[in-house]
Structures are given as C-alpha cells and as structure tokens.
Structure 1
Amino acid sequence: MDGSDTRVEAEQATDGGFVDLEDEFGAPQQEVNDPFAGYNRAMTGFNDWVFLWLLNPVAKGWRAVVPEGGRTAVFRFFKNLLYPLRLVNNLLQAKLGGAVEETGRFAVNSTIGILGLFDPAQAWFGWEAHDEDFGQTLGVWGVGSGPHIVLPFLGPSNLRDTFALAPDWSLDPITYYAKGYPQQIGIWTFKSVNATSLDIGGYESLKKDAVDFYPFLRDVYEQNRKKKIEE
C-alpha cells in the first residue's frame, strides 16, 4: 500500500470526528434543540481541556515513537474488530449490499490482511467500509435526535445517539474480550490516542476557525449525523 493510501486511511481515523466536521464546515445552519446549552458549553470546555492537556500530548508522543504505517495498521485492526456493529446496523437498516460487502471485507482483511492490520479488501477489490451505528439506525427508523447533549470525554451527542451507545458497545468485541471495566477503558483510551495521532493539528485548526467553538461543534455534529442518516 503506497503513501497516498496510508494518508487516506489516516484521514479517516476519527470517524465522526475532525474530518467529518471539516467536511460539514460552512454547511447551511439548522435549528438545534439545545435546552441544556449552559451545561453543554461547560462540558465542551472540560473536554477541550482534556484533549489539549492530556490526549493530544500523549498522541504526539505516540506519533514520535511509532511510524505512521504502524499507527495506521493499529487503526485498521480496531476498525476491523467493529465488523459486528457495522453488519448488524446495515441489516437493521435493510442495507443488504452494505452487509454483504462488510462481510467480504471482514473475511479478506481478517485473513489476507492479517487480522485487519492491512486492507486488501479495499486495495484489491474496492470494497469500502459501510459505517453504520445504532444511532443512525434509530434515525432511519424515524426516531428524532432529541436535545443536544455533550458527553464527558466522548464529546457532542444527542439524546437518540446517547441512548444508542449501549447497543453499540454491546456489539464491540472489546466489551467481551477485556477483563473488566478498567481494561475496557484502557483499550478504548489507547484506541483514541492512536486515532488522534493520525490527525494531529486537526482539532486546533477547527478551533482556530470557529468564532464560538461550542455552537460550531454542536451545529456541525447535528448536520453531520443528519447527513449520515439520509445517505
């Protein structure tokens, strides 16, 4: 896989994160249900501090000692593990083509791709990942987003997507392979550090461009989720 392939995958490392936000920057504004604006703004400030002073420095250190190819392979491994989540939600949304392609990707990448460290399914056959989660499934079923909520450490969300976290976590193999909550949190933290290391500077760039960071993140998150549900 050449350098351009690695860069493309690196830019996809924060699903629903900085890359998606940048894609939506400047999109038409829509009214957001935000009755908890005071709390949400405060929690955004807390998450901003955690990112800038904890997550980002660790991610920079990780980037300094591990080559980009290795970090991208780690990202692919974790993405491959989430096959059950993508499969079930593609099926629940009646996206049978996506479910079939996801199954083919998992079979090829888990074997030829060495447990998902490489992505021959995309490189050789053009099979793309079909990222679907239970929040999107509920949206397809007609469930409204509800009020906007900023979650500690996890960032922007809404009532529907917050409710969907439990089903999504139940389809994450880490939930079952890890021995207890501390190990689960450790693995998820490492996964986040690795993903962040592939997009160093993206968050700061967004923050610099935003006049008021909280409503910017809020509006773009809701627009992005709406777009994914409608696709």
Structure 2
Amino acid sequence: MKGEQEGLRLLAMVLAAALLLGAAGVCFAADAPAEPVIVAQFGGEPASVPATSPSAADDFDEFDAAYSDQPLVSDPLSGWNRAWFQINDVLYRGLFRPMAQGYAWAIPPRPRTWVSNFFTNLLFPVRFLNDLLTGKWDAAYMETSKFVANTSFGVLGLGDVTGGMPKNWEPERPTADGFDQTLGKAGFGPGIYLVWPFIGPSSIRGTVGWVADAYCDPVTYGRFTFLEFIAIRAYKNLNELSLQLEGNEYETLTDGAVDKYAAVRDAYIRYRAKKVAE
C-alpha cells in the first residue's frame, strides 16, 4: 500500500510540474533533444547552435513533402485546444520569450550550452531504453559510449567531448527520442490531438510517452521538494529556449500563418510521424 501511495505521489508530482512549467518555449519540440548542442567544448569560441537543415522553414517544407499523405489527426477537443493554444501563444510571446531574451543577454552562450549539455547527458536513460525497445542496438551502444565519455571527461556532461568525433560515432538510424516514438513504432497511432496548458501540442500517445519518459528521468527521483523540482524544470526550459531564439521553429511556423493553430497542429503531427519512421 505504501509503495502504491509513493507511486501515485510521484506521478502527481510529475504531472503537476508538467502542467505548470512543462515547456517554456511552447514549441512542438516538447521532447527532450536527442543530441547535445555541440558548442560546449571548454576551449575556443562557442559556435552557433547547429541546425539540422538550412532553416526551420525548410524543415517544415520537408515534412509537408514527405508526409503530406498523413491523415489529419482527430481533433474532437478543438474548442479546448484552440483556447489553450491562444493562451500559450500569449504567454510565450509576452512572458517566456522576453525572459529568455533577458537571460541570454545576462549569460554568455558557452555557460548556457554547458547547462543544455548537462541536462541532455542526464536524459541518457530515456534515449538508451527506447533505443533498446526499438531495436536500435548501434544507437544504444553509441549513446552509452557518449554518456561514459561526456560524464567522465566532460565534467558530468557539461562538455560534449564527443561532439567533434568522426561520423562513425553516429548510429545508422537516429537515436530514439522517447516513448512516444517507441509506441508509434509498436503500431499505436497518435490518438486525438491535445494542447496542454503551458506545454503545447501533444496527443494521447504523446502524453503517455511523456509520462513514461518522466519516470526514466533521474531528476524525477532526486530528493527535491516540489518547488525545487519545478524550479529545476523551469530553469532547464528557460535555458533551452535561450538557445533557440534565433530561427525559432514555432515563430517561423506561426508568424504570418492564416490559422496558427492548424499550422502548429499539422506540423506537429507530421513531425511525430517523421520521428516514428526513423
């Protein structure tokens, strides 16, 4: 009975923290990044945050071209979703982004990148377990190698000492980014579309995956008070957003969109379909 109470208490704490300060960026990259931001070598000048493609707009064009045949997600809660999308958008532009801009002005890029690398390294269990569950054995091996190297020689993951390694350090398929991807590969569809307060776009599958990821996050098991736990999450998200101010994907997608809500919804679903296909 005591064990069940502890489990329910842990789940309640995780969900409450998510609803309060789940993702300050209100972007559909709600998942933790699969790779560290490769800027955090301890010497030399910090580089700019790398992009996986020339621009965020190109990324969305690729999603549209490759996944335009994906059926639209069921959206029976569009009233709720649109209302919270509007609130989240106002909070992002009026509160979260200005806070991130002030933080970026006060803290140089290199220390902010060390923080990002630290949290990315800390989320190794999420990536490793999902690599195993999806049969990405080479990715699981590479993740383990990077974790050991960055923890040992990168001062607990502050430095990404493997960032400059040859491409043979990269697995054949991209490493798993969480249980949402694993469930998708197992054949589970996204279910209905959801927009969570202060978090942003998700789905039934994405929500279940997020909770499972939280149970694999070492921070969840730290001996923190509830407020300390929230503060850690909030700082992680604020720091991450400060590194994404230039070429922010959410702003690229919504600025000038006729229907911002539909644009974010469709891009999110196609992006998750792309991740499941990897």
Q: Under a length normalisation based on structure 1, what TM-score does the superposition of the two structures give?
A: 0.89
Residue 171 (structure 1) aligns with: 216
8 A contact 1:25–1:220 mirrored in 2: no
One-letter amino acid matched to 2:97: N
Residue 270 (structure 2) aligns with: 223
2:207 to 145, 148, 162: 162
One-letter amino acid matched to 2:271: N
Q: Percent identity?
A: 37
- Is 2:62 aligned against 1:35? no
Equivalence map 1:1-231=2 (5 Å): 1=41, 5-8=47-50, 11=51, 23-25=59-61, 27-28=64-65, 29=68, 30=70, 31-126=72-167, 127-128=169-170, 130-201=175-246, 202=248, 203-231=250-278
Three-state SS of the structure 1 residue aligned to 2:201 is strand
Q: Under a length normalisation based on structure 2, what TM-score does the superposition of the two structures give?
A: 0.74
One-letter amino acid matched to 1:23: D
Change (3 A) 1:22 1:34: farther
Query: What does the per-residue CA deviation read over 1:88-143, in whole Å, with 9 as the maximum and x for residues that have no partner?
Result: 11111111111000000000001111111111112134434724200111001111
8 A contact 1:93–1:140 mirrored in 2: yes
Query: What does the per-residue CA deviation read over 1:168-217, in whole Å, with 9 as the maximum and x for residues that have no partner?
Result: 10111111125132222111111111111111152333321422110000
8 A contact 2:193–2:204 mirrored in 1: yes
Task: Please report how far the alpha carbon of residue 155 of structure 1 lies from its aligned counterpart in structure 2 after TM superposition.
Answer: 0.6
Three-state SS of the structure 2 residue aligned to 1:121 is coil
Q: Which runs of 5+ in 2 are unaligned?
A: 1-40
Change (3 A) 1:63 1:113: same
Change (3 A) 1:20 1:140: farther
Q: Which runs of 5+ in 1 are unaligned?
A: 13-18
8 A contact 2:136–2:175 mirrored in 1: no
| Structure with greater proportional helix content | 1
One-letter amino acid matched to 1:73: W
Task: Please report how far the alpha carbon of residue 50 of structure 1 lies from its aligned counterpart in structure 2 after TM superposition.
Answer: 1.6
8 A contact 2:73–2:190 mirrored in 1: no
8 A contact 1:21–1:220 mirrored in 2: no
After the TM superposition, which parts of structure 1 deviate over 4 Å for at least 4 consecutive aligned residues?
A: 1-6, 19-22
Please provide the CA RMSD for this pair: 2.1
Residue 15 (structure 2) aligns with: none
Task: Please report how far the alpha carbon of residue 25 of structure 1 lies from its aligned counterpart in structure 2 after TM superposition.
Answer: 3.9
Larger radius of gyration: 2
8 A contact 1:21–1:221 mirrored in 2: no
- Count how many residue pairs are aligned between Structure 1 and Structure 2: 223
Change (3 A) 1:21 1:176: farther
CA distance in structure 2 between the partners assigned to 1:205 and 1:21 by the alignment = 7
CA distance in structure 2 between the partners assigned to 1:20 and 1:180 by the alignment = 38
Task: Please report how far the alpha carbon of residue 46 of structure 1 lies from its aligned counterpart in structure 2 after TM superposition.
Answer: 1.0
Residue 16 (structure 1) aligns with: none
